[in-house]
């Protein structure tokens, strides 16, 4: 493939993540239609001033034939994306299995799967083997496209084995790894059978980043306790080699949300929503339909609120947008039925012929519809049981300059550390506390809402995704330079 010309002063950044920021649909034997997902992360990385970013990852589709693979590779190249092709069996064992049934729940304090211990142990081994194999496939693609001087930034729990594979190819490669989930307490983490191998592999990176200082500290503790290495204020040291470990809290592209509220379609949509829910306060939840988001807990707390605050019953509505995700993993299927059951029961209990208290949607909304919804919301409810950061809370705040609604936020989301002063913080497991907080939010004085909103809005505006990406990448460059200086001394 022809390499595009680039200004000589721009360094290349290879962003490696399990999923490419595109959705690919096959239209024919050799034709694909691609849609780029315009999230905050994508615009942050494409907007980097000093770097030219390329993405390497899985396109989310199975392409068994060479004709299809070639055509997709070509189409993706125009979007600066490079595919890693994973077959169905690997996806099943690596993505559904090891990533989403083992690492994801464990990192969110839900423990390892327990149904059948023997079966789990057996499948555990084959899933871990598939995980390593998949990581090696990512490494092969990175290596094929790597040019001297490139910076390689690996993302998330899917790719913990990647830093080691990359350094084995080329020890001079600048490798960073960032975890988007929590890193759990070392007491939880140590139950993972493959704990040492994964830690060692991550430590092969030059810089390891987390959303919060706590996650970074847990990681360092895991390395000192399990591997017996030395933790320093800078990171983790192993026989004179330092892996720098630090916190880099992510943000959103807040201007994109603020600007959206001036788009005529969005304004029209807001007007319709206001008419639709006139006379009622709007409460909103937006989550991927994932057990870590605490959706059942949130809905049960809302039920408790309706029980305890009878005068609010016909004056409030909860809109819950639950975006289906990882639908091949049984735990996620169970959650869907559980949520439907609870919503049905509560609507049966408190609904009337003309209105129901909960509108639950199992689907995503387009960006403009979502912005309109955020803007007309009185109270947003984020009740994650654990969450790396939770950017829904940031998006809500960005859209609330006019209304100054209240954010109820789980203390177990990374965002609690940045938006805690403006939000009402709750323990999502305490249904009564959440119900009381809903009452407090709905009754809050305009002055108090203004004060809280100011704090959060300022934070969301000044801590952007772009700044996050710039800080991480420049720190990675500095780390490598410092290491070279140490060696040459
Ligand atoms: C979390 C993870 C991401 C992941 C996203 C969507 O935010 O940290 O790495 O891409 O969920 O999940 P999915 O499995 O659909 O990629």
- Per DSSP (E only), the strands in 20-76 are 22-28, 31-36, 51-58
pLDDT of 50 > 90? The answer is no
Q: What angle do CA 213, 215, 216 make, to 5 degrees?
A: 65
> Ligand 1 in contact with 211 (CB < 6 A)?
no
Q: Quote the CA–CA distance of 394 and 409 in Å, as a whole number.
A: 11
Tokens of 477: 């460059």
Judged against a pLDDT cut of 50, whether residue 139 lies above it is answered with yes
Ligand 1 midpoint to CA 166 (Å): 22
Under 8 Å CB-to-CB from 196, ≥6 apart: which residues? Answer: 226, 227
Q: What DSSP line would sit under 116-148, residue for residue?
A: -HHHHHHHHHHHHHHHHHHHHHHHHHHHHH--T
User: For residue 130, is pLDDT > 50?
Assistant: yes
- Please report the atom of ligand 1 found closest to the CA of residue 17: 9
Q: With contact defined as beta carbons under 8 Å apart, do 158 and 99 qualify?
A: yes
- Whose CA is closest to atom 14 on ligand 1? 326
CA dihedral 86, 92, 96, 98 (to 10 degrees): -90
CA distance 288 to 94: 20
Name the pLDDT band for 2 (thresholds 50, 70, 90): very low
CB of 224 closer than 6 A to ligand 1? no
- Ligand 1 centroid to 360 CA: how many Å? 22
Q: At residue 49, does pLDDT exceed 90? A: no
Closest residue by CA, ligand 1 atom 6: 325
- Mutation test of ligand 1: which of 15, 16, 17, 18 has the most ligand atoms closer than 8 Å to its C-beta? 18
For residue 115, pLDDT over 70 is answered with no
Which residue has the least CA distance to atom 7 on ligand 1?
A: 180
For 240, the token pair is 């004179």
The predicted model gives 26-41 an average pLDDT of 88
Helix orientation angle between 117-145 and 162-169, rounded to the nearest 10 degrees? 40
pLDDT for 117:
56
Position 8 scores a pLDDT of 59
Distances from the Cα of 440 to the Cα of 193, 396, 406, angstroms? 45, 19, 10
pLDDT class of 126 with cuts at 50, 70, 90: very high
* Residue 3 in this model has a pLDDT that exceeds 90: no
Q: What is the pLDDT of residues 161-199, one digit of tens each?
A: 999 999 999 999 999 999 999 999 999 999 999 999 999
Please work out whether the CB of residue 26 comes within 6 Å of at least one atom of ligand 1: no
281-288 and 51-58 beta bridge pairing? unpaired
Q: At what angle do helices 367-376 and 264-276 cross, to 10 degrees?
A: 50
**Cα–ligand 1 centroid distance for 94 (angstroms):** 14
What is the structure's pLDDT at 7? 54
Residues shown for the chain: 489
CA of 305 to the centre of ligand 1 (A): 32
What would the mean pLDDT of 48-59 be, rounded to a whole number? 91
Mean of pLDDT values over 208-228: 98
What span, in angstroms and rounded, lies between the C-alpha atoms of 376 and 359? 15
**Cβ of residue 474 lying under 6 Å from some atom of ligand 1:** no
Task: Give the whole-number percent of the chain exceeding pLDDT 70.
Answer: 96
**Total Cβ atoms within 10 A of residue 303:** 21
The ipTM (two decimal places) reads 0.98
* 288 CA distance to ligand 1 middle (Å): 9
Average pLDDT of the chain? Answer: 94
State how far the Cα of 140 lies from the Cα of 156, in Å rounded to an integer: 18
Nearest CA residue ID for atom 10, ligand 1? 19
170 lines ligand 1 (CB under 6 A): no
Average pLDDT over residues 7-13: 78
State residue 1's pLDDT score: 41
Mutate to test the pocket of ligand 1, among 37, 180, 322, 414 (most ligand atoms within 8 A of CB): 180
CA of 459 to the centre of ligand 1 (A): 24
What does the pLDDT look like over 352-383, one tens digit per residue?
999 999 999 999 999 999 999 999 999 999 99
Which residue has the CA at smallest separation from atom 4 of ligand 1? 19
Residue 279 CB burial class (10 angstroms; 0-12, 13-18, ≥19): exposed
Q: Ligand 1 pocket, 325 CB below 6 A?
A: yes
Q: Do the Cβ atoms of 385 and 411 come closer than 8 Å? A: no
């Amino acid at each position: 493939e022809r390499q595009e010309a680039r200004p000589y002063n721009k360094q290349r950044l290879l962003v490696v993540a399990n999923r490419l920021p595109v959705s690919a649909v096959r239209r024919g034997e050799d034709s694909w239609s691609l849609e780029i997902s315009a999230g905050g992360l994508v615009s942050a990385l494409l907007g980097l001033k000093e770097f030219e970013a390329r993405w390497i990852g899985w396109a989310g589709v199975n392409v068994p034939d060479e004709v299809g693979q070639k055509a997709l590779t070509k189409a993706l190249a125009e979007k600066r994306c490079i595919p890693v092709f994973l077959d169905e069996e690997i996806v099943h064992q690596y993505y559904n299995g090891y990533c989403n049934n083992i690492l994801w729940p464990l990192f969110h304090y839900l423990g390892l799967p327990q149904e059948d211990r023997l079966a789990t142990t057996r499948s555990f081994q084959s899933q871990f083997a598939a995980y390593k194999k998949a990581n090696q496939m990512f490494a092969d693609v990175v290596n094929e496209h790597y040019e001297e001087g490139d910076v390689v930034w690996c993302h998330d729990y899917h790719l913990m084995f990647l830093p080691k594979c990359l350094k084995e190819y080329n020890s001079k490669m600048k490798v960073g790894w960032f975890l988007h989930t929590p890193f759990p307490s070392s007491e939880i983490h140590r139950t993972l059978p493959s704990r040492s191998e994964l830690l060692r592999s991550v430590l092969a990176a030059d810089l390891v980043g987390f959303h919060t200082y706590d996650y970074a500290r847990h990681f360092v503790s895991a390395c000192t306790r399990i591997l017996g290495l030395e933790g320093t204020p800078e990171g983790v040291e192993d026989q004179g080699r330092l892996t720098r470990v630090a916190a880099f809290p992510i943000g959103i592209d807040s201007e994109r949300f603020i600007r959206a509220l001036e788009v005529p379609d969005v304004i029209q949509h807001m007007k319709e929503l206001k008419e639709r829910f006139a006379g009622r306060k709007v409460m909103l939840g937006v989550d991927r339909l994932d057990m870590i988001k605490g959706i059942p807990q949130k809905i049960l707390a809302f039920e408790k609120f309706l029980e305890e605050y009878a005068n609010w019953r016909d004056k409030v509505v909860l809109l819950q947008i639950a975006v289906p995700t990882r639908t091949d993993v049984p735990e996620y299927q169970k959650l869907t039925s559980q949520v439907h059951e609870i919503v049905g029961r509560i609507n049966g209990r408190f609904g009337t012929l003309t209105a129901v208290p909960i509108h639950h949607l199992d689907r995503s909304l387009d960006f403009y519809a979502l912005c309109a919804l955020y803007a007309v919301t009185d109270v947003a409810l984020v009740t994650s049981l654990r969450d790396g950061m939770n950017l829904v809370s940031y998006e809500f705040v960005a859209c609330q300059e006019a209304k100054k609604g209240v954010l109820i936020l789980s203390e177990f989301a990374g965002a609690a550390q940045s938006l805690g002063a403006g939000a009402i913080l709750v323990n999502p497991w305490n249904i009564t506390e959440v119900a009381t907080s809903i009452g407090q939010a709905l009754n809050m004085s305009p002055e108090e809402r203004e004060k809280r909103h100011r704090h959060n809005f300022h934070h969301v505006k000044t801590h952007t995704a772009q700044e996050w990406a710039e800080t991480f990448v420049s720190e990675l460059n500095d780390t490598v330079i410092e290491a070279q200086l140490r060696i040459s001394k």
